[in-house]
Structure formats: structure tokens, C-alpha cells
Structure 1
Amino acid sequence: MSKILTITLNPAVDISTSVERVVAGPKLRCATPRVDAGGGGINISRATQILGGSSTAFVATAGRTGATLLCLLEELGVTVLPFDGPGETRQSIMITDDSTEAQYRFVLPGPVWAKEETARALSEIKEAAPKYRYIVLSGSMPPGTPDDIVSTLADIANNAGAKLLVDTSGAALKQTVSAPKHKPYLVRLNQREAENVSGRSLVNERDYIAFAADRVAAGVANVIIVGRGRDGSVLVSKDECLTCTAAEVAIKSRTGAGDSFLAALTLSLSRGEPHAIAFQWGVAAASSALTTDATALCTKASTERLRAECDIARI
């Protein structure tokens, strides 16, 4: 049985394509599109499978787009716990301008959830939680869900003897890193999110370490990770402070790097490996994802190869 449950409450069918040049006005003839099941938790389940592990994906879907998403996951062989959500599952579109290699990402809004739908989803997650050691919540939260939903999920995970890992955004992230009633095991942020939360510019590695240490001391989570792009990442817990450099790679697409990171890290932790090793695997997988096209995630071969180039240091 899988030790990992991923949660995607606001998934999307991701469509990626390219054009010779993005200009306003005329019809732009696109290349053959790539269609993927998207959303943070889904991407983590996909990347976990790519890396040789397994997970179960709790996915909220609705309407015809939701049916398409479930078909895509079935084709990939991802084990799914489907949740019948409201409205219509959203879509996102990524277009690459071949003349500049710039990527344009358009994300359509997801359906609005009522209190009853949130309660029903939480009830189903609570029922499933005792079967797993690690529960990963990733991606944006649907409109209408309460800002403190992470705290509620942390309580569910803690009572089930599981560890909740979180990579979210918006109001849910802001609430999580302020003063949650129930703290998750781990929270990951990127540079922009860390600066928004702190309310100031974070210039160097020391600033990010101090930010993460403050949040750990405030009881936000046992572990705080901040991804810093090309500058690597920092991991801070009560007992340790780690930095890890990113591998030097030619970047094709930044999409999926964070999800690949969390997939590799969680898979490593589920195998009993310590934070330092799991952290290094995460940075290697993120580096790998940068080398793949469009919405493709990491690859196992390049993650294993790049790991040696991701240097861990204890501060």
C-alpha cells in the first residue's frame, strides 16, 4: 500500500502549445497541444510515479473537464480517490513564444465551493487519512474554502498519525504561516511567497534562513523550506538548518519544478531517509524538471544524475 496521499482540491486540465511569435490581433497558428492532468497534488503523484514510487491522489473533479482529467490520470496509471466537486473543473493554458522562448500562462478560475462541499471533502479525507504516513496538500485552494483549511487538514493528519506537507498559495498560505491552530509538519514556499509573507525584500541566503527560522520558532510548522530558484533552497527545523544548491542546467520550462521537488522529498521521507537526503533529492528533481518541455515534470534518470551536483551544507 502507498504511504503517500496527495490532495488536489482545485485541479486543472493543462493545455500547452507554442507559436512562432505571440502578437496581438491576428490568429496565431499553434503547434499540436500537449494535454496533461494538472494541479499541485496531481503533479506530485505523477512525479512520484516517475521516480519509482507510488501514491494515491485525492482529486476533486466536476463536469466534462473533470471527466477528461480522470481519463488522463487513468491512462497514467495514477491511483485516484475521486471527489465529486461542484461546477466544472478548470483549465489552464501555457503558450511558448518560439521567437523569444518566453512562456505565457493563463489559468482559468476554478468553481466556487459551498461550506457543505468543503465539509464533505474534509470528511472523506479524514476517513482515508489513517491509511497513509504522509499527506501532501499542494496547489491553490478553491474559491469559497475557508482560509484556515490547512489547519483543519493538519488536525486530521495529526490525529491519524500522519504528517501533512503543504505547498499552497493565497489566503490559505497567509493563514498557515501566521498562527495556525494546528500546525502541519512541513511548509514549502518560493521566493516571492516568502517575501510577501515577510512584508519585505529578502536579499540573500541569510535573510531566507532567518525568515524560515522565525516561522519555525513561531510554531508554524516543524520544517520550513524556501525554494530560491537558481540559488537553491533552504530548509530549517528546530534542530537543523540546511542549504542545497541547484544543479546548473539549461532551462526549458519552470513549470512543475516545485511539484517535482515535493514529490522527491516526500518519497525519500517515506522511505525513512533523513531530511538532508530527502532535501537533496528534492532539489535534484526540481533541477531535472527545469530541463523538460512545457508541463512535463522531472525524469528519474536526470534526477539521479543531478543529485550529485546538488551540494548540501549545514549552517
Structure 2
Amino acid sequence: MTEIITVTANPALDLSTEAPVVIPDRKLRCAPPLVHPGGGGVNISRAIHNLGGTSRALVAQGGPTGQELVNLIEAEGLTPESLGVAYPTRQSISVRDAATGLQYRFMLPGHAWTEHDAEAARAAILAAASPGALVIPSGSLPPGLPPTFFPDLAPALAERGARMILDTSGAALSHAAQARSGLYALRMDTVEAEELTGQRLRQLSDHADLARKLRADGAAEIVIVAAEASGNVIATEDWVGLTRPPLVIPHSKIGAGDSFVGAFALALSRGEDPVTACCWGTAAAASAVQEEGTTLCQREDVERFFKQVERIAL
């Protein structure tokens, strides 16, 4: 089976809670918080573990919060490895308004990195990458780490026979879309895609046109644009279309994208074709939105939802 390596440069200790109503200038009495290890790569490894798979999780963490993060990761049966950078780990908090069902998410910044830190992380990633491995950097970047860092790392990984699946946003996504750096897969959601293009994606055909164009321009072999509740649009060499999930009642959107990437990568590592892997990812995202906080996808639900995912050519 293909090895999966996740990379989290800016992890967080995630606290999630609920208040009867969220209004300004008042003390809001919240429910007891759920506490989970967070950060894109960490959550992807957690999702893979939930689905019965294995991965290596490279994490930059430090300080008391970082130790609590490690303890929580290990409590879920994972063994995080150092990314070579050990600044104090940040926190984030999400509050669900019980009256409206709306969720408010507050993300604190991480510690600023130096050029030396970037070199240490680069060395750790390249040392971990084995031939054929799927390397998945995910999550926000700490201050000081240039948005070009991960796309520019892809060619060096390719030289070692590894492939990069990149799930990013903002300036890093813009660079990845233009760099032609040999990415295996590039994923974004609708908001990120609209920021990239400066245009509204009003119809699924707009998502498909963008995914098709990015792939043709050499951004990646596989391009995926998440279309919220409609599912995921994927462009591969052989097929462009939508993988549509079954109808579910959402509780929290946190972790849906990470669950998608985890299930997608796990399916690829087991030899599934990219479109089938996208169906697994779509099922995992549908599972995740039903959960509280950052509990992520659940295997039984994912296996049930996978059978209900539709493939629609666009």
C-alpha cells in the first residue's frame, strides 16, 4: 500500500462549544468545550485513522499547548513526528449559535517562522518522503513561511518518486495554480476558487470549467473544486464531473474538507482510480458535517454514504 505523509506547519488546539445565542457586548455562557487536535494535516491523518488507514503525521509543535496537542493526537492512536520546528502551538475556537445554527470560528495566528525554520521543515519532509508516497501539506501557513513553500517543494518530492496532494488557499493557491510544479492533485473549495479567479462560480459548469482549465494549464494532474452541499467537481485525464453526496443534515462544517482529503488519499493509496477516490472523499465529507466540533468522518457512515454517491459528467 502507498504510504501517506501529512504535513502540518501551523497546527492548533481546537476548542469548540455552543451558546444559546451569539450577540455582541454580552457574556455568553457556553456549553463545556470539546477539545481536539487541529490543523489541516493533523485532521487528515485523524480522518485516515478513523477510516481504518495509516499515515505519518509531520507536525510543527511546541510549548504546553503543543504537548497537549501531541497527547490528544496520541490518544487517538496516532504517533506525530517532528517537522523540525518547535514554536508554541496556537489555539482556535469555534462557537455555534444554537438559535440560528450558525457557526463562528476564531483562528489565532501561529508563531512567525524564519528562513532557517523553513529549511528545517523542508529537510524533514524530504527525509520522510519515500518512493511512491503521497505527501499532503494542508492547513494555514505560519507567518514568515512564504506561500511558495509547498508548491516549490513538489519537484524535489517528484525526484524522490513521491507525489504531492495540495489543499491550500490564498496566495499559496494562486502560486500553485500558476507554478506548473508537478503537483499530483490540487484541491480548493468554492470560496477559495472564487478568490483565485476573481469571479463567482454560480453553476456547477463554472466549477467544471475552472477545474478543466487548471488541469490543462498544468496546475496538477488532478484538480478538485468542492461545490459545498452539491459535492465535488473533479477533473482528471479521462473525466470531468461531479461526485454528489446523499442529503444529510449538517451540524458543523469543520473538518469536512480534511475528511474529504483523508478519504481521497486513502482510496488512492489502496489503488482506487481518482474518480472513485473522489467518491470516497465526498462520502467522508458528508459524514463529517453531521458531527460535532472536529470529530471528523466516521467509518460506518462513510461506507454507507459511498454507496449513495452519484457520478455526474459535466
TM-score band (shorter)?
Answer: over 0.9
Give aligned pairs, total. 314
Matches within 5 A, 1:6-155: 6-130=6-130, 133-155=133-155
CA distance in 2, matches of 1:131, 1:293: 37
CA distance in 1, matches of 2:246, 2:179: 34
Using structure 1 for the length normalisation, give the TM-score: 0.96
In structure 2, the CA distance between the partners of 1:2 and 1:73, relative to structure 1 (3 Å rule), is farther
CA distance in 2, matches of 1:20, 1:12: 25
- The CA deviation string for residues 27-54 of structure 1, in whole angstroms up to 9 with x for no partner, is 2222111110000000000000000101
CA distance in 1, matches of 2:16, 2:4: 28
Describe the SS at the equivalent of 1:73: helix
The alpha-carbon deviation at position 232 of structure 1 amounts to: 1.3
Give every structure 1 segment of 4 or more consecutive aligned residues whose post-TM-superposition deviation is greater than 3 Å. Answer: none
Conservation of the 8 A alpha-carbon contact between 2:85 and 2:120: no
- Give the letter for the 1:142 counterpart: P
Describe the SS at the equivalent of 1:185: strand
Conservation of the 8 A alpha-carbon contact between 1:4 and 1:54: yes
Structure-2 residue corresponding to 1:261: 260
Structure-2 residue corresponding to 1:226: 225
The alpha-carbon deviation at position 88 of structure 1 amounts to: 1.9
Once the two structures are aligned, what percentage of the paired residues are identical? 40
Conservation of the 8 A alpha-carbon contact between 1:62 and 1:84: no
CA distance in 1, matches of 2:213, 2:236: 10
CA distance in 2, matches of 1:314, 1:20: 43
Using structure 2 for the length normalisation, give the TM-score: 0.96
Which stretch shifts more, 233-242 or 67-76?
Answer: 233-242
Conservation of the 8 A alpha-carbon contact between 2:2 and 2:270: no
> Quick check: 1:295 aligned with 2:308?
no
Structure-1 residue corresponding to 2:246: 247
Structure-1 residue corresponding to 2:162: 162
CA distance in 2, matches of 1:240, 1:20: 46
Structure-1 residue corresponding to 2:309: 310
Describe the SS at the equivalent of 2:130: helix
The alpha-carbon deviation at position 168 of structure 1 amounts to: 1.1
Unpaired runs of at least 5, structure 1: none
Unpaired runs of at least 5, structure 2: none
Conservation of the 8 A alpha-carbon contact between 1:86 and 1:111: no
- Give the letter for the 2:289 counterpart: L
Conservation of the 8 A alpha-carbon contact between 2:2 and 2:269: no
- Give the letter for the 2:35 counterpart: V
- The CA deviation string for residues 232-286 of structure 1, in whole angstroms up to 9 with x for no partner, is 1111023321311121001111110000001001000000011121111010000
In structure 2, the CA distance between the partners of 1:131 and 1:90, relative to structure 1 (3 Å rule), is farther
Structure-2 residue corresponding to 1:189: 188
Structure-2 residue corresponding to 1:175: 175
- CA RMSD of superposed structures (Å): 1.5
Which stretch shifts more, 220-229 or 96-105?
Answer: 96-105
CA distance in 2, matches of 1:131, 1:93: 38
Conservation of the 8 A alpha-carbon contact between 2:151 and 2:179: no
The alpha-carbon deviation at position 4 of structure 1 amounts to: 0.5
